[in-house]
Amino acid sequence: MITFLEGIIDEKEPAFVVLNVGGVGYEVSISLNTYETLPPMGDKVRILIFHHLRENEERLFGFASREEREVFLKLIEVSGIGPASALLILSSQPISSLCHTIACEDVKALSSIKGIGKKTAERIIVELKDKLTHLAGKTAPAGISKNAADAVMALVALGFRQTEVQEAVQKALQKDPDASTDQLVRYVIQNRG
């Protein structure tokens, strides 16, 4: 079983990357999240792998982080979700946001993903909401608005500490309860100190 591949990026597109590993080209299906982290073509990269084997198909799925691979593996355990659908779900939003969406039981957001209907979205939530809380909890606290949660996640991704960011976002919301995610992020960045 292949766990990771390390090689030179020979070709890359939003849906796949071709890695030259010792003179052998491996085509690896990836999410948009992984694509955005890839270095330029010709650079060396290490990608975590899920090796999917079926009677008439063999595919490699690649991930930039352990968290992304973990969520992928949980998704394909859900009845009706195959690897291709799981990759589409992963591409819909950053991993922490996706885990937060599932933990908050946001059926509407999940069912807006191409190929995911309401029943499948509900099944994902029922089966995974308790299994992914450790990933959602890292960046998206419960009990705050979606704009505030998205702002916290964006700021943590930029390197801010979560506890400081949560307090700063709450202060911003006291001044403007209807602030957008962008406004909240700008406020925190401008008023840090």
83-136 per-position pLDDT tens digit: 999 999 998 888 888 888 888 888 888 888 888 999 999 999 999 988 876 675
Sign of CA dihedral 6, 33, 142, 70: negative
3-state secondary structure 19-71: EEECCEEEEEEECHHHHHHCCCCCCEEEEEEEEEEECCEEEEEEECCHHHHHH
Q: Tell me how far apart the alpha carbons of residues 73 and 53 are, in angstroms, rounded to a whole number.
A: 14
Q: Tell me how far apart the alpha carbons of residues 61 and 58 are, in angstroms, rounded to a whole number.
A: 10
pLDDT at 162: 62
Cite the residue boundaries of each domain of the chain with CATH code 1.10.8.10: 146-190
Cite the residue boundaries of each domain of the chain with CATH code 2.40.50.140: 4-63
CATH architecture of residue range(s) 4-63: Beta Barrel (2.40)
Q: Tell me how far apart the alpha carbons of residues 174 and 168 are, in angstroms, rounded to a whole number.
A: 10
pLDDT tens digits for 18-62? 999 999 999 999 998 899 899 999 999 999 999 998 888 899 999
Fold topology of 146-190: Helicase, Ruva Protein; domain 3 (1.10.8)
> Whose CA is closest to 80, among 35, 115, 37, 36?
115
* Two structure tokens written together for 186: 């700008």
pTM given for the model: 0.69
Q: Tell me how far apart the alpha carbons of residues 127 and 51 are, in angstroms, rounded to a whole number.
A: 23
> Where does 66-136 sit in CATH, by number?
1.10.150.20
Cβ atoms of 28 and 46 within 8 Å: the answer is: no
